[in-house]
Structure 1
Amino acid sequence: MAIPYSFAIHDYFRELNESGGIRGCPIDYDLRDDAYDVTKAQAIWDLWKAAPDWDEVVQVMTWGDDATLNLSPQATQEGKPLVSGSHAGLLASPRPIDVIVDVPDVGANFQEALLPQQFKSPGFPNNFFASTDDSTSARGAVFHVRQNQAKRLGFFYCNTAAFCRRPSPAAHAYAREIGLPIGRDLFLEPNEDEASYREKIRYYFRGEIDYKKSHPDYDMVDWVWVGSSPRAMALIAKAVASVQQELRASMPNPIQLIANERAFDEGLYARCGAACVGNVHGALPSLAFGDMSYPSREMPKVVALYDKWRTIDGSGSRAVFADGVSLDARTVNYVKGYVSALVFRMAVERVLDAGKTVTAQNVKEAYESFASVGTGGLTENLAFRPEDHRPQGTVYVYKFSPAGELLSEPPPRLTKLDRSWLGW
């Protein structure tokens, strides 16, 4: 997922420099791979910080959760705005957050209880991202499920990785808020294989069937929110399809899966094929790559930029991902990287338009002056406030055609950014 994102940033900046930079000033940037390793990311940061021109650096960009959470406090200390590919909800709060929230949970006995959970954020005043935060995306996914007449929403996610489980409480709580009955949670860890997933999912739905027999008024889980990776999402989809076929006499209606952006992109179909057609949906924070079904003057530029630089690089359109799978890199993550580079350009232009010097502090203040800034239709308009760095509350929902093409499921789901949700 990081590869298309980094492709986009690299492509955007070198294209910008080829045309003279920003107002005639070229962008001097250094792109390095931290390989999802916090220690390596820290070493890169330390190398940059030790450089003689560190004081002239006006922005840092990161990708993953762990590296971002480690480096963002250092960016604040150094006075550098940090634009991250991580969209964790706690990063969106510039100020410290410490709240107790009653989160609904359904136990093994199928009884729902409200469990107080504490959510804390130290505050990340210098962190920005040009996308919907993960928790708001989860709420948008839940709203889509409710609009599609779901009977009950279950939750499949990994419990050992924060990016999987962190948005789950938001999804649980929002489902209760809008009157959508919830089901049990099921933990499916990244190191498990399809057979393990299938066994756990079979046990889960057999439990649904047995409880329905003894409680006829109970509506079984018919939708599942998934928080995981694309690899795990593919295995989950295959396992659900297999279990659905096995238990079809007691489960006549297809189980629908809706995934957060971390588990869903254009490459998912290559991993799971027919098992992902019709019943697998993805809630994305921007338009998918090449989606012309929404008005977007910028999307043709995204596609042209990708094609131009892949041809120049001689790399074609394939990229080898972390699990060794070679997939087309024309994905939503390229769009997200493009938008991240685009907003940097807009922030710098805003500084220049105000007659100020381009410094890290002035770039940060420019971001926080964004009230309703357009991205050419790639996302909803973005806004950052000094007290709230959630830029938008919109998700775009997609599913696959039998040929593996993404089909949008309009309209975009706009979730009001409630102040009480900030930071979790």
Structure 2
Amino acid sequence: MHILRSLALGTSVVTTILIAGCSSILGIESNPSLDSDASTTGGAIGCVGTVYVRIASDFSGTATDIAIPHFWGVYDHLRELNETGGIGGCNIDLDVKDNNYTPAKTTEVVDNWRKTDPHWADVNTLFIFGTGPTTAAGPQLMSEKKIVIPGSYAGLLASPTPVNKDVTYNVLNAQYQSANFNEHKTSTGWPYVFFPATDYGTAIRLAIQAAWRLQPGRMAFAHETADKCAYCVEPLAAGASFMPSLQGMSLGRDLIIPQTSSEADAPKIHDAVVAYFTDAVNGEIAHFKSANATSWTYEPVTWLWSGNSVFASAILGKEVAAIQKQIDADPAVQAILAANKTKWKLRIMANNWGIGETTTTICGADCKGDFFYGLFPVPKYADLQNSSGMGNLIGLHETYARKDAATPPKAPITPRKPTDYQDVRYVQGYAAAVMWEKAMLRAIEKGSKNPAGEDLKNAFESFTQMDMNGMTAGPISFTPTDHRPQSNESIYRIDENGQLAFVDRYSLALVSEWLGY
């Protein structure tokens, strides 16, 4: 593995020399010191002592399907840094705890570190998985000036300063009545929070744009409730307020489904989807028939944006595919469609965490073809064509997966087999760790012998179109007033062979008014 890393790093130096002129034209940072062997030569840059990092991830809650592979991507890269000389020469001291994907447990874990960890004062970074967990434990961490890299891309976390704004948008209630709704969006300000992927607000806007380009129609938001899953609902105001800007797109009724990683909850998703579409009074099919009995007055839901994680989204896909068969077999529905020379085709558009290599495994053949689409702020696992650093990542995964299969890390870390977690979630975790590495090296370059949170904050906020070695959909940037890292998403779909197939890449301007939601 060290040979692979050294070879890649050496190649990057040559590449930097060759494309230096192009980098200045493109506005992408070309910083040889960040890509050189300095991070692995035991002090060439000048870090002194030990760097303390803490990780709180979900090993037992409702997001284990996405949190565990994300954790391994972070953990493997940090361990690899240690085994190849540390970060600028400093060893990284790691401690891992289970946050159960709940705010209460995360607060308990962080408070316990604060009370019992003899090195707490020197901890400069915490990797915390989840929106709710981060917002619960985060305020005090902000006052302590500790960097938080969350397994969350919530828009509210991307604002370093407080935000208070009203967002008004049109909603459709359970009885298909339309009304304006005002949502007050707030952010306390998160000056020490940084993440590498597109924030959820920008991502849902890109999801709507992608759906519009594929086939305009009515989009329903499928998600868990806010009290049970903060990230599932965090971008809804962004999406609902953006929807009218694209001709032909409109908002459907919300579909509430559980956020889960458990097969035991699959029947609950089934029941929710069936009720949403087939209820005799307010079901989508019944309303379609009554509203369009004499003239075309109601565009039915054709897109479902899925705000939950990959397991729940895949089960949603399976259930929606079954509904499609009912629609196709209903003579009354087909007669109305034929009379109006149109079709009723359902599709899924999953969020950043709602689609991955395991989607087909869970959903089966029903999710193949022109049906299941999703957002990728990072490349899929093993995408060597579109990611310059993917070879290093694959080698990293293989090396440490074999080691951990032979000697599993202690609890709460979940044991793994060598073939486990070869998916985009691992890439997302790895991207977060690479981002941290680049900020650490920059802070050390600027003179910090052992960077504290403030040093890292300044380093992050100096990123301008930072090349992430192909680990994100685009280069990342931060400023002291805006921590949205990028505005790019790649769209993939599950193709006819059950593989993730690239569709297109989209980008939106980071409108200042959208900061914080």
Q: Note the C-alpha offset of 1:128.
A: 1.2
Counterpart of 1:127 (choices 190, 193, 205) is 193
Aligned 1:204-283 pairs, distance under 5 A: 204-216=284-296, 218-248=298-328, 249=331, 250=333, 252-278=343-369, 279-283=371-375
Counterpart of 2:147 (choices 81, 89, 107) is 81
Whether 1:343 aligns to 2:435 is yes
Q: 1:311 aligns to what?
A: 402
Counterpart of 2:502 (choices 401, 408, 413) is 408
Whether 1:333 aligns to 2:333 is no
Whether 1:42 aligns to 2:107 is yes
Q: Is contact 2:255-2:273 (8 Å) kept?
A: no
Whether 1:360 aligns to 2:453 is yes
Q: Flag structure 1 segments of 5+ consecutive residues without an equivalent.
A: 317-325
Q: Note the C-alpha offset of 1:29.
A: 1.8
Larger Rg: 2
Q: Flag structure 2 segments of 5+ consecutive residues without an equivalent.
A: 1-65, 259-264, 335-342, 408-416
CA distance in 2, matches of 1:33, 1:108: 38
Q: Note the C-alpha offset of 1:2.
A: 0.7
The root-mean-square deviation of aligned C-alpha atoms, in Å, is: 2.4
Q: Secondary structure at the match of 2:96?
A: coil
Counterpart of 1:60 (choices 112, 115, 126) is 126
CA distance in 2, matches of 1:218, 1:204: 10
Distance 1:64 1:108, change over 3 A: closer
CA distance in 2, matches of 1:147, 1:181: 10
Whether 1:198 aligns to 2:264 is no
Q: Is contact 1:393-1:417 (8 Å) kept?
A: yes
Whether 1:15 aligns to 2:80 is yes
CA distance in 1, matches of 2:514, 2:153: 14
CA distance in 1, matches of 2:306, 2:110: 33
Distance 1:229 1:23, change over 3 A: closer
Please list the CA deviations of residues 110-151 of structure 1 after superposition, one character each: whole Å capped at 9, or x if unmatched.
454432221111111111111111111111100101111323
- Aligned residue type for 1:35: N
Whether 1:71 aligns to 2:137 is yes
Please list the CA deviations of residues 271-327 of structure 1 after superposition, one character each: whole Å capped at 9, or x if unmatched.
111121120111122111112342x211111111111111111179xxxxxxxxx99
CA distance in 1, matches of 2:295, 2:230: 35
CA distance in 2, matches of 1:215, 1:169: 32
Aligned 1:82-97 pairs, distance under 5 A: 82-97=148-163
Q: 1:369 aligns to what?
A: 462
Q: 1:162 aligns to what?
A: 230
Q: Secondary structure at the match of 2:252?
A: strand
Q: Which deviates further from its counterpart, 54-63 or 28-37? A: 28-37
Q: Note the C-alpha offset of 1:421.
A: 0.7
CA distance in 2, matches of 1:44, 1:219: 49
CA distance in 1, matches of 2:286, 2:230: 28
Q: 1:321 aligns to what?
A: none
Q: Is contact 1:10-1:31 (8 Å) kept?
A: no
Please list the CA deviations of residues 226-246 of structure 1 after superposition, one character each: whole Å capped at 9, or x if unmatched.
212323222221221111111
Q: Is contact 1:106-1:182 (8 Å) kept?
A: no
CA distance in 2, matches of 1:38, 1:116: 27
Distance 1:315 1:238, change over 3 A: farther
Q: 1:320 aligns to what?
A: none
Counterpart of 2:202 (choices 136, 146, 149) is 136
- Aligned residue type for 2:438: M
Q: 2:391 aligns to what?
A: 300
Q: Is contact 1:59-1:81 (8 Å) kept?
A: yes
CA distance in 2, matches of 1:211, 1:293: 49
Distance 1:292 1:112, change over 3 A: farther
Distance 1:333 1:417, change over 3 A: same
Please list the CA deviations of residues 82-106 of structure 1 after superposition, one character each: whole Å capped at 9, or x if unmatched.
1111111111111111111111223
Please list the CA deviations of residues 36-65 of structure 1 after superposition, one character each: whole Å capped at 9, or x if unmatched.
233332232123223232222111111111
CA distance in 1, matches of 2:376, 2:157: 18
Distance 1:111 1:4, change over 3 A: same
Q: Is contact 1:258-1:282 (8 Å) kept?
A: yes
TM-score normalised to structure 2 length: 0.76
Aligned 1:161-180 pairs, distance under 5 A: 161-180=229-248
Q: Note the C-alpha offset of 1:396.
A: 1.3
Q: Note the C-alpha offset of 1:158.
A: 2.4
Q: Is contact 2:288-2:298 (8 Å) kept?
A: no
Q: Note the C-alpha offset of 1:218.
A: 4.1
Q: Which deviates further from its counterpart, 214-223 or 71-80? A: 214-223
Q: Secondary structure at the match of 1:143?
A: helix
- Aligned residue type for 1:34: N
Q: Note the C-alpha offset of 1:200.
A: 2.1
Whether 1:420 aligns to 2:513 is yes
Distance 1:328 1:314, change over 3 A: closer
Q: Which runs of 4+ in 1 moved over 6 A?
A: none
- Aligned residue type for 2:304: V
Whether 1:147 aligns to 2:216 is no
- Aligned residue type for 2:214: N
Q: Note the C-alpha offset of 1:195.
A: 3.5
Q: Secondary structure at the match of 1:261?
A: coil
Whether 1:286 aligns to 2:378 is yes
Q: 2:253 aligns to what?
A: 185
TM-score normalised to structure 1 length: 0.92
Q: Note the C-alpha offset of 1:210.
A: 3.1
Q: Is contact 1:159-1:187 (8 Å) kept?
A: no
How many residues align structurally?
417
Q: Which deviates further from its counterpart, 101-110 or 347-356? A: 101-110
Q: Is contact 1:11-1:305 (8 Å) kept?
A: yes
